[in-house]
């Protein structure tokens, strides 16, 4: 059998990308994990300290609060964004007038940065400037909407702003999926007298499963990276009531100058993410490939 010639030009073209992956991604991850096992403070040192940073991390109430907030934010934001985005896509798929204009309006918040989104919602939710002040100006003096200044509800303000930002993206993904469904299925359902909600629930939603997965993965990445929206909207407060892991890491890395604790938090976040994604990736891709074989 004739061997195929080695295409050195291909390897030469891929070399910069491979070097970036090895040094900028894998290398920095290994460095971060290594520093988390030292007693580094303002500058990194190579003095091994075992699991002391992790013990201190899980003894810090602020870290535990940030993890709890990330779970609340992630579950609510992903669930509401998926449901709202799907319903908006179904509404736009009815071939209504001005569809292009409405689609642009709904998708527009996603084009804005989290900084701008946070500022807009900070004004809207501010009791002295936004909704509360407006409604009281209409004569409802007892109206109260001060979630952003209350510890127990501040994280839900972040959820509200994030859903407003992300629902348009989900709508676009779902609408693309809906437009790809065979028109004969719609005709057959009408002939059989299937109720619209049954058709959507039992046929359309299973067909759109890849779209739901793509949207969920994109939203999940936003949950883990959540930082600037919290920074602008609530600043992590009142107190630390709306703090999230990314803000915890940044604060301890640059303000409190505790590199060891910050890298331990970052490593914990990475391990948690891998533990959450690995079973899903295995079930979704590797097991599916085995079934095909």
Name beta bridge partners: 190.
none
Residue 98 sits at the vertex; the CA angle it makes with 93 and 100, to the nearest 5 degrees, is 70
Q: pLDDT tens across 72-122, in order?
A: 999 999 999 999 999 999 998 887 788 888 888 888 888 888 899 999 999
Q: Report the pLDDT averaged over residues 165-174.
A: 92
Instruction: Confirm whether 203 is domain-assigned.
Output: yes
At residue 65, the pLDDT reads 92
Contact (Cβ atoms closer than 8 angstroms) between residue 212 and residue 82: yes
Instruction: Confirm whether 10 is domain-assigned.
Output: no
CA dihedral 72, 76, 79, 83 (to 10 degrees): 180
At residue 85, the pLDDT reads 93
Instruction: Confirm whether 200 is domain-assigned.
Output: yes
Instruction: Confirm whether 37 is domain-assigned.
Output: no
Q: 248: closest CA among 274, 224, 223, 227? A: 227
At residue 289, the pLDDT reads 61
pLDDT at residue 128 is higher than 80: yes
Collect all residues with Cβ–Cβ distance below 8 Å to 67 and sequence separation of at least 6: 245
Higher pLDDT, 120 or 186: 120
Contact (Cβ atoms closer than 8 angstroms) between residue 160 and residue 153: no
Instruction: Confirm whether 35 is domain-assigned.
Output: no
At residue 288, the pLDDT reads 60
Q: At which residue do the structure tokens 């952003």 appear? A: 148
Quick one: pLDDT band at residue 286, thresholds 50, 70, 90? Answer: low
What is the distance between the alpha carbons of residues 230 and 236, in angstroms, rounded to a whole number? 6
User: Which residue range forms the structural domain that includes residue 131?
Assistant: 61-291
What is the distance between the alpha carbons of residues 7 and 73, in angstroms, rounded to a whole number? 49
Instruction: Confirm whether 38 is domain-assigned.
Output: no
Domain tally, the chain: 1
Q: Which of 51-65, 243-257, 270-284 has the lowest mean pLDDT?
A: 270-284
User: What's the mean per-residue pLDDT of the chain?
Assistant: 86
Can you give the CATH number for the domain in which 83 is found? 1.10.3720.10
Which region holds residue 86: left if phi is over 0, alpha if psi is between -120 and 50, else beta?
A: alpha
Collect all residues with Cβ–Cβ distance below 8 Å to 156 and sequence separation of at least 6: 76, 147
Instruction: Confirm whether 138 is domain-assigned.
Output: yes
At residue 4, the pLDDT reads 65
Secondary structure string (H, E, C) spanning the chain: CCCCCCCHHHHHHHHHHHHHHHHHHHHHHHHHHHHCCECCCCCCCCCECCCHHHHHHCCCHHHHHHHHHHHHHHHHHHHHHHHHHHHHHHHHCCCCCCHHHHHHHHHHHHHCCHHHHHHHHHHHHCCCCCHHHHHHHCCCCCCCCCHHHCCCCHHHHHHHHHHHHHHHHHHHHHHHHHHCCCHHHHHHHHHHCCCHHHHHHHHHHHHCHHHHHHHHHHHHHHHHHCCHHHHHHCCCCCCCCCCCHHHHHHHHHHHCCCHHHHHHHHHHHHHHHHHHHHHHHHHHHHHHHHHHC
pLDDT at residue 191 is higher than 60: yes
At residue 17, the pLDDT reads 85
Instruction: Confirm whether 142 is domain-assigned.
Output: yes
């Amino acid at each position: 059998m004739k061997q195929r010639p080695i295409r050195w030009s291909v390897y030469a073209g891929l070399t910069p990308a491979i070097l970036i992956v090895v040094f900028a991604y894998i290398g920095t991850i290994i460095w971060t994990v290594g520093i988390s096992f030292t007693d580094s403070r303002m500058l990194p040192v190579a003095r091994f300290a075992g699991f002391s940073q992790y013990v201190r991390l899980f003894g810090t109430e602020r870290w535990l609060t940030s993890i709890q907030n990330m779970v609340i934010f992630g579950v609510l934001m992903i669930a509401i964004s998926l449901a709202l985005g799907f319903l908006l896509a179904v509404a736009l798929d009815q071939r209504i007038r001005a569809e292009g204009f409405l689609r642009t309006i709904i998708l527009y918040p996603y084009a804005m940065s989290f900084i701008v989104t946070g500022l807009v919602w900070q004004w809207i939710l501010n009791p002295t400037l936004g909704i509360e002040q407006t409604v009281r100006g209409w004569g409802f003096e007892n109206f109260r909407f001060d979630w952003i200044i209350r510890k127990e509800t501040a994280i839900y303000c972040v959820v509200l702003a994030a859903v407003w930002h992300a629902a348009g993206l989900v709508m676009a993904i779902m609408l693309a999926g809906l437009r790809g469904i065979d028109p004969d299925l719609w005709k057959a359902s009408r002939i059989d007298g299937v109720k619209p909600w049954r058709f959507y629930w039992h046929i359309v939603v299973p067909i759109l499963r890849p779209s739901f997965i793509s949207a969920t993965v994109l939203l999940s990445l936003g949950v883990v990276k959540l930082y600037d929206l919290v920074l602008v909207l609530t600043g992590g407060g009142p107190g630390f009531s709306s703090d999230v892991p990314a803000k915890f890491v940044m604060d301890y890395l640059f303000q409190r100058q505790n590199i060891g604790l910050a890298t331990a938090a970052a490593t914990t976040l990475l391990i948690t993410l891998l533990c959450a994604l690995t079973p899903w990736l295995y079930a979704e891709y590797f097991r599916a490939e085995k079934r095909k074989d």
